[in-house]
Chain A
């Protein structure tokens, strides 16, 4: 309904009960001054919330049928709905709620015992009420269905022989009056059980004035019951009625009122409803404030005015705090999504003939509301899958030596700036044979690939479209469309999904999602002189091709440019062409003939985006594009950079569709899609043995590789920056003096490149707090490859040779070179495995 909920959601919290008051009070007091529409709107909002709670409570009640608290709460909720809709003139809705109330009254009074059938009919009533509310919302009327059958069914259930264990003394008179159709009044008949049973929903409530008076013994329960009855008709304050009845002295009422206020001074201001758009607006304003603050701080640093600086410092702190607090207003506990699950679980379990217990941990874990919205459906799907596919039938479970009731566990927690959600079941685990068979059948993996795949890879195949583990298609699942949609949806919001399974023990699905969508990490690139942000989520790797490589590496297949990335053909998309920007840089610009390829993925397809330059990664604040530009699918939004200028955020999916890398209709691309994915998986598998190395060129030695893990930084200095300390070349670097080692001289004894260029390229190597600069002729590339080391004769400072990018490359033994050149440099492992 577009409203944020910001109150604690604890079941037995007395505050929750008090929330019934406002609407009822408004109905009584402020009706004339308020339009009917407003009241109906409030009624709808409040009733939807009440129904959600009813779902949970009824399911809970089924497992704890003797909980009088729960029963009372359920009864109260139905009663509230009935009362309000009676007043608003929704007759059909009132009749239905009334029938439910009668049934509940019997349960509450112990005349009936809760059965599965009663719960089902009550849940059916909740659904019917929900449908009627929808009808009211859309047409203002409570619909044309009167649910006579359901009312009949509930009336029948009422008649059933009561289990006498709890209510042996129910008087015939009371029963009669219940059948006459007024459960609420029946309960209010003076009754000896009154004090003990929290029967009447208002009676013993210590947060109300009657409850306080009762507690103090200043009135009798009968008096209160009578007064409440009068209140319902006359709509006067309970205290006034009691005084009028002569049941209590006015002073006592006044003192009880004071007690009440003292008990909970904030009762009236606990929560208010705020439209989400207001919160969003607030968020935007805070963003502006933060920008203004930044400018102010810069100004104050220039001004050197002590008192102005003090003020701007304070302003700084306040703005920061304000930003945090406003961010919090958008956060909602994940419990708001989970609350619906118990009901879902019950329904699915029932329809599958399974017994399932749902356990939830970490309901308080908070997430931005846009994300809450986005994960709602995928989560429900995952839980549904766990029950339908994971949990076995009770008979099978017994044979496997498990409890007949399966357990589905939900766990949410914060970790590393992300929210983790786990959905685990203790079912049979994934049937890997079947998954593989399905995947091969569908041509998603080849038979050879299948033979090589690890268990983990196989498990993750369930996220491919068309793979289902269900033996047969049910109305719940098994059509093989679910999991890939779940994965796509999660990826859309920057999340990841992973599955782990143990045969016979169960399956766990782990979902990781960012806390907020408002701020995302992104890679900044330029193309045709414009800056663009690429969300990190779609990013796979960066490839830079220099000079001749750029010409050789990019080939054409029927006019479509491709690049060979580790043996695979990567389709290339030129960003400037897609966006009709000026072709690359003007002749003679620094970029030269180098090409930068940003390897991205969208909808499971990888492609290379050719850009002019790759600048940096940054955390950016996502802002929407104006409505004038909403038709542009190439962008997902815009952001403001540090220099105050606007940069567009690229929508990789939209761009891919534009460029025709992926077809717009998902269906036709499925086949290819899957194959591509399967290849990715095997590529990822072998990536485990990969090492990332920096490839450099140095003199006669040719190409050398240095493990990237040993490289602290890559720098470029003018030759003039090199100074001498005795025989040692040194350089000032970040306020320190670091020795330089000329690699080509060190390795070959020659002096190939000294003085040849006016700038030197330096690989900075640090360890034990000391740094050393390795001067190379040229930094070529950073590659990620499997290194099969071959010892091609022992040479100084070289561990061996390997083939990198189809060329023989020596692996540099950095620590030994450093030890050799600078005696006394700390001992260090080689860095090669």
Chain B
């Protein structure tokens, strides 16, 4: 049998994503988050992971997907990155699946630049495609983009 790899899979805006199991620390329910003003837009906030403070990155924003419909609570996929644990906010969690290396293909050329950066490849599974996420790139602090630009708020009476 050819080399195979285990993937922790999840869904994002109808797409099927996966990240290699060894990189995943844990998967947890939605946690209340503390917003970090001035932070890059993709950083949704900070969560308290058993006493450790972990930034949560909204993968939808990172991948340029439309925002999550209001009322839907994301799940946390906590990954171990070079820069410490980071939580990835995803829509829904799938199974852990084993895929053979031979099914891997590089991402299509037509993939939009934004997503192309963080999608390592595509596995052609029977019935669907699994997009392999480059975790390290997805959470790279230098690539998270500038803080959101706010129009100066209305001035209060002073």
Contacts and interface: CB of A to CB of B under 8 A. Distances in A.
The yes or no verdict on A and B being binding partners is: yes
Interface of A: 284, 287-288, 290-292, 528, 530-531, 551, 554, 556, 561, 572, 574, 576-577, 579-584, 593, 623-632, 634-635, 638, 640, 644-648
A581 B35 CA distance: 10
A579 B38 contact: yes
Nearest to B32: A645
27 contacts: A284-B51, A284-B52, A287-B51, A288-B50, A288-B51, A292-B50, A556-B158, A579-B38, A583-B153, A625-B46, A625-B53, A626-B53, A626-B84, A626-B141, A627-B141, A628-B55, A628-B139, A628-B141, A629-B39, A632-B38, A634-B38, A638-B53, A644-B48, A646-B45, A646-B46, A646-B48, A648-B36
Contacts of A626: 46, 53-55, 83-84, 86, 141
B21 interface: no
Given A288-B52, A291-B50, A629 B158 contact: no
Contacts of A644: 48
Contacts of B148: 580
Contacts of A580: 37-38, 148, 150, 153
Which of A288, A561, A576, A648 has its CB near the most chain B CB atoms (within 10 A)? A648
A630 B40 CA distance: 11
Contacts of A584: 156
Nearest to B37: A579
Given A583-B154, A584-B156, A628-B141, A638 B46 contact: yes
A577 B153 contact: yes
Nearest to A581: B37
B73 interface: no
Contact of A630 (B48, B141, B150): B141
B157 interface: yes
A579 B89 CA distance: 24
Contacts of A628: 39-40, 43, 55, 57, 83, 86, 139, 141, 144
The SS class assigned to the B binding surface is loop
A644 B57 CA distance: 20
Contacts of B33: 646
B118 interface: no
B5 interface: no
Interface residues of B, number: 34
B106 interface: no
Given A579-B38, A647-B34, A629 B48 contact: no
A640 B51 contact: yes
B32 to A, nearest CB: 6
A626 B156 CA distance: 33
Nearest to B45: A646
Given A554-B158, A627-B83, A629-B55, A645 B35 contact: no
Given A624-B53, A625-B55, A638-B53, 20 more contacts: A287-B51, A292-B50, A530-B35, A554-B158, A576-B153, A579-B38, A580-B37, A581-B37, A583-B154, A625-B36, A626-B46, A626-B53, A626-B55, A627-B83, A627-B141, A632-B36, A634-B38, A640-B53, A645-B48, A648-B34
Contacts of B153: 576-577, 580, 582-583
Given A288-B52, A638-B53, A645-B32, A583 B156 contact: yes
Interface string B39-71: 110010111101111110100000000000000
Which of B34, B35, B144 has its CB near the most chain A CB atoms (within 10 A)? B34
A640 B48 contact: yes
Contacts of B39: 628-629, 632
Which of A284, A628, A640 has its CB near the most chain B CB atoms (within 10 A)? A628
A584 B36 CA distance: 17
Which of B53, B141, B148 has its CB near the most chain A CB atoms (within 10 A)? B53
A-B pairs, top 9 by smallest CB distance, nearest first, are A579-B37, A288-B51, A627-B83, A646-B34, A628-B141, A626-B55, A580-B150, A646-B46, A287-B51
Given A627-B141, A638-B53, A646-B53, A574 B48 contact: no
A631 B146 CA distance: 11
B140 to A, nearest CB: 8
Nearest to A630: B141
Interface in B90-127: none
Contact of A561 (B45, B46, B158): B158
Contacts of A635: 36
Contacts of B36: 625, 629, 632, 635, 648
A328 B38 CA distance: 37
B155 to A, nearest CB: 8
Nearest to B34: A646
A627 B142 CA distance: 9
Nearest to B51: A288
Contacts of B47: 646
A645 B34 contact: yes
B51 A530 contact: no
B115 to A, nearest CB: 19
Contacts of B32: 645
Contacts of B154: 583
